[in-house]
Structure 1
């Protein structure tokens, strides 16, 4: 889930309707990507119709299995671990120095096209030119069917180009979300019995069993993100990963007054000590305030967990795959093993 405050950077989609009209009127096809972009699945598309019902209850009917898949980076990373290779991504995938953003996970960003790297950026003209057959993205709302990182101003045009498939990322358990991406990958031709997938699943399950040691279960853990004027305490009910930590037996802070929009309780930095915690997990995404910056806030710096050096990363928006969360659980276990009850 995004931070409550994000910089909004707009991009103009001038002439997109005209572009779509021109393509249809000419009866031609837009220019395709190079073969290096890869296919959506290692398996060849099966002959015959392809049908899938997404988490909006939307039934997708295509004449054949889609191979030209475009995905938001979180979805792309999860599908990649299951063996599906999208042709393009959108959302945070490249840092300012040109290296990969952690959110894109195992995706080889040299072999996929980029449609946008920040919030509200989606190159619709380029999207049209790629001849996509399917777009996959997560959804962070229970009531609305808003696709993550699909700009609202361009959503109608994007829907006209190719079917979209939404994956609900709230109101489920972590294994359920991972399993859903597995179902999508299998429908796209991936082999869920591939050695890499089965080994990762076993590793994920083992890491979950090993995490809640008697010592770790004694620790009070607060999960948070920070901004210039406020901090946000994560609600386990709306963050499936934080909810999973709690389900495994860890003592996670549950905020008492969650914001109307859910996900967080917003606190001023003056009230940083609202909840007692032995351990603090801080949002490690590039758009979140770094711990070094938070340390300049006196009320944060004097928190017992901060003074004890028991502040560790929280990998919000980790890819929903067994590989992704096996690593998260193993890292968390290692960090909690270093912490003590304060």
Structure 2
């Protein structure tokens, strides 16, 4: 795709976006930016969410920091003048509700006169559908164009993900271990994930991983409880949130295995292939 061609894309809010040429200078929320980098589009800069600090969270950075992509800090506190100086052609964020961008106030993009793409990462889409949408956006932005087209790379990534899923399916079927996904909030509090509320956890369940549900109580995505509740569920393996703002597990039954989980894994086949392989290895250990 040539940058001289007109560009159009409809995001997951149903917003139709367009430009006179294919955007070349992409600024993105860190999760979206890491996915685009995996897909062959290198952002000129990325920003974080309200959970993020002034520097990269290693769990969320993917290959961005190694690629030298600047991090601008949390999106809600962005220096608009600095953003303007970057001359973005498009801003890419995510949405959990299908209505609003997650990490950046849309008014910022409006003031800069820059289209803002918001792609869904909520549970109204399956994980394969989420990955497809990011592929579509990457392709529209010319992913792989310098290497003669993205088709070969996309096929290789898809093959790698399929292989990782097959590996995990086989291990999960052999071991039958019970898995609890959670995010630590401190010594007295933990957020226990409801598996069907998270596309990647729902995908794990579809692959045969025996995920534990925390049970009834308030909260659509998480049940907030004490660590004793997590122990009562008697998981064989705990998937713990490894983002910077979360804390490690405080209390689990003796012998419980641990594996890292980033609830904001970049929505790319390569990133999820790594996660699925690491989980399979933890289950098989």
The alignment's TM-score, normalised by the length of structure 1, stands at 0.74
Structure 2 counterpart of 1:167: 119
Counterpart CA distance in 1 for 2:129 and 2:119 is 11
Matched, 1:146 2:100: yes
Matches of 1:314 and 1:108, distance apart in 2: 20
Evaluate the alpha carbon distance shift between residue 258 and residue 182 of structure 1 in structure 2; reply closer, same or farther with a 3 A threshold. farther
* Contact 1:237 1:243 (8 Å CA) reproduced: yes
Is 2:66 the partner of 1:112?
A: no
Which residue number in structure 1 is paired with residue 206 of structure 2? 247
Q: Report what 2:273 is aligned to.
A: 326
- Correspondence for 1:211: 168
What's 2:195 paired with? 236
Match of 1:56 in 2: 13
After TM superposition, the structure 1 = structure 2 runs for residues 12-161 of structure 1, keeping only pairs within 5 Å, are 44-47=2-5, 49-91=6-48, 101-108=58-65, 111-116=68-73, 118=74, 120-142=76-98, 145-150=99-104, 152=105, 155-161=106-112
259 and 140 in structure 1: CA distance in 2 versus 1, 3 angstrom threshold: farther
Tell whether the 8 Å contact from 2:238 to 2:256 is kept in structure 1 after alignment.
no
- The answer (yes or no) to whether the contact 1:258–1:264 under 8 Å persists in 2 is no
User: Could you tell me how far 1:309 is from its partner in structure 2?
Assistant: 4.1
Q: Greater shift after overlay, 323-332 or 158-167?
A: 158-167
**Retained in 1: the 8 A contact 2:127–2:199?**
yes
Which structure has more strand as a fraction of its residues?
2
1:110 CA drift (Å):
6.1
Change (3 A) 1:158 1:258: farther
- How far apart are 1:194 and its partner, in Å? 4.6
Distance 1:57 1:265, change over 3 A: same
CA distance in 2, matches of 1:157, 1:120: 9
Q: Compared with structure 1, are the counterparts of its residues 121 and 54 closer, same or farther at alpha carbon in structure 2 (3 Å cutoff)?
A: same
Residues in 2 aligned to 1:271 and 1:194: alpha-carbon distance in whole angstroms: 47
Q: Confirm or deny that 1:282 pairs with 2:240.
A: yes
Taking the aligned partners of 1:122 and 1:259, their CA distance within structure 2 comes to: 33
Which structure has the bigger radius of gyration?
1
Q: Distance in 2 between matches of 1:279 and 1:124?
A: 44
Question: In structure 2, how many angstroms separate the alpha carbons of the residues matched to 1:81 and 1:272?
Answer: 35
Structure 2 distance, partners of 1:276, 1:67, is 50
Equivalent position of 1:29 in the other structure? none
CA shift at 1:258, angstroms?
A: 5.2
TM-score, normalised by the number of residues in structure 2:
0.88
* Offset from partner CA, 1:247-296 (integer Å, 9 cap, x none): 11111012322534x211111234333423221111111111023xx2xx
Q: How many residues align?
A: 275
Q: SS at 1:56's partner residue?
A: coil
Indicate if the aligned counterparts of 1:124 and 1:158 stay in contact, CA closer than 8 A: no
Q: Report the alpha carbon displacement of residue 88 of structure 1 after superposing the two structures with TM.
A: 1.1
